Amino acid sequence: MAFGSSIGIFLSCLVVLANSAEQLGRRPVFLPARTIAEAIVEAEFAGATELCPEDGFFADPDQCDKYTECRGGKLIEKLCPDGLVFNDVNQYEEKCEFPFNYDCSDRPNLQPAKPSRHCPRQNGYFPHEDSKECAKFYFCADGQSNMITCPDGLVYNEKTGACTWPDEAKKEGCGAAQVLDFECPKVNVSAGMSHPRYADPLDCQYYYVCVNGNEPRRAGCKLGQVFDDDYKRCDWARNVPPCADWYKDQLTEAELEALEHPPRANPAGPHRQSHRPGKNAALPETS
């Protein structure tokens, strides 16, 4: 039975009772609005089978971390662990997950937070308290925190719960200019320079790619190589005079040679001993 139908039936009963009271010469008794509402809710839950026409898990219409389990006609209200939200994509799957994996814009309410040190909620990924720590964030599980640091050049992105490029994270104070300390020179991207490359002035192994000529992203050459700013490509250090000695204190000449000219694998595969007897090989004994 629909909720609206229940209201109609309940109010009709009140009208009948009032008319009966008048016919008997008695003053009708009117219930307060709160009592009426409570009675309607009780009437609805008394018919729990109608509220649970089939088994499954159903999202609360207002609260994203709240849901209902229907099992055998019985209704059970549930909450996800603090920090997680209910994903109702599959009616038959009880699934709570991180908020950045599910859109809660149509039911934004959440249970009261249970914060602990470094954890605004018991579970989830959260930015560092210091807004200047762009690359650091916390993973919290049951109120216990673990600090994580993004790879060099990346920042924590609250929208994805992962490390991304500064221009993707769009976090105030953590733009590419602040994180990378590099700004892309103004170029004419329509002249075939849509993603120009520039040498890192402080590190021969690295360079910057300016996406669409504006957003810098730091990239690197493999070990033993450096970025050749004249040809805009990676090359072995000995071939780039300004950076020829870049690995002098890191790798020996033999190690650099091995990186540039690695030993070739035997095309015939590893040597295997033949099981075919040679000319002078002893034959197995026979009984």
The CATH number of whichever domain residue 212 belongs to comes to: 2.170.140
C-alpha dihedral, 180 to 186 to 188 to 190, nearest 10°: 40
* Single residue among 80, 97, 112 that ends a domain in this structure: 112
**Residue 252 in domain:** yes
For 184, residues 6+ apart whose C-beta sits below 8 A from its C-beta are 196, 198, 208, 210, 213, 214, 215, 216
Residues 55, 70 contacting (CB under 8 angstroms): yes
Cα separation, 6 vs 12, in Å, equals 10
**Residue 273 in domain:** no
Residues 193 and 256 occupy one common structural domain: yes
CB-based burial label for 229 (10 Å; 0-12, 13-18, 19+): middle
The label of the residue with tokens 């360079």 reads 207
Cα separation, 75 vs 271, in Å, equals 70
Per residue of the chain (287 residues), give pLDDT as tens: 444 444 444 334 433 334 444 444 434 333 343 333 343 334 344 444 567 878 999 999 999 999 999 998 899 999 999 999 999 999 999 999 999 999 999 999 999 999 999 999 999 999 999 999 999 999 999 999 999 999 988 999 999 999 999 989 999 999 888 888 888 888 776 656 678 999 999 999 999 999 888 889 999 999 999 999 999 999 999 999 999 999 999 999 999 999 999 987 665 555 544 444 443 334 344 43
**Residue 269 in domain:** no
Number of domains in the chain: 4
CB-based burial label for 245 (10 Å; 0-12, 13-18, 19+): exposed
Residues 211 and 230 occupy one common structural domain: yes
**Residue 157 in domain:** yes
- Show contacts of 61-67: CB within 8 Å, 24+ apart: 61/107, 62/107, 62/109, 63/107, 63/109, 63/110, 63/111, 64/99, 64/102, 64/104, 64/107, 64/108, 64/109, 64/110, 65/96, 65/110, 65/111, 66/111, 67/94
**Residue 125 in domain:** yes
Region for residue 194 given its phi and psi (left: phi exceeds 0; alpha: psi -120 to 50; beta: otherwise): alpha
Written as six digits, the tokens of 231 are: 């040809």
**Residue 287 in domain:** no
Residues 184, 208 contacting (CB under 8 angstroms): yes
**Residue 286 in domain:** no
Region for residue 90 given its phi and psi (left: phi exceeds 0; alpha: psi -120 to 50; beta: otherwise): beta
**Residue 271 in domain:** no
Residue 148: give the domain boundaries.
115-169
